[in-house]
Amino acid sequence: MLAIELSGGEISLTASPEGWVFKGKVTFEDAVFAKQTIDAEGNSGTRAELSDSKGTMASVREIFNNHDHDETDSTTLPPNQPM
pLDDT, tens digit (0-9, with 9 covering 90-100), for 13-47: 999 999 999 999 889 999 999 999 999 999 988 99
AA identity, residue 24 = G
Percentage of the chain beyond pLDDT 90 is 39
16 three-state secondary structure: strand
Which residues 6+ apart lie within 8 Å of 23 measured at CB? 9, 10, 11, 12, 13
Q: Is residue 82 scored above 80 in pLDDT? A: no
82 three-state secondary structure: coil
Q: Which residues pair with 3 in a beta bridge?
A: 14
Is 0.75 topped by the overall pTM? Answer: no
User: How far apart are alpha carbons 13 and 52 in whole angstroms?
Assistant: 31
User: How far apart are alpha carbons 34 and 72 in whole angstroms?
Assistant: 49
Q: Is residue 76 scored above 90 in pLDDT? A: no
CA-CA-CA-CA dihedral for 40, 55, 58, 45, to nearest 10: 10
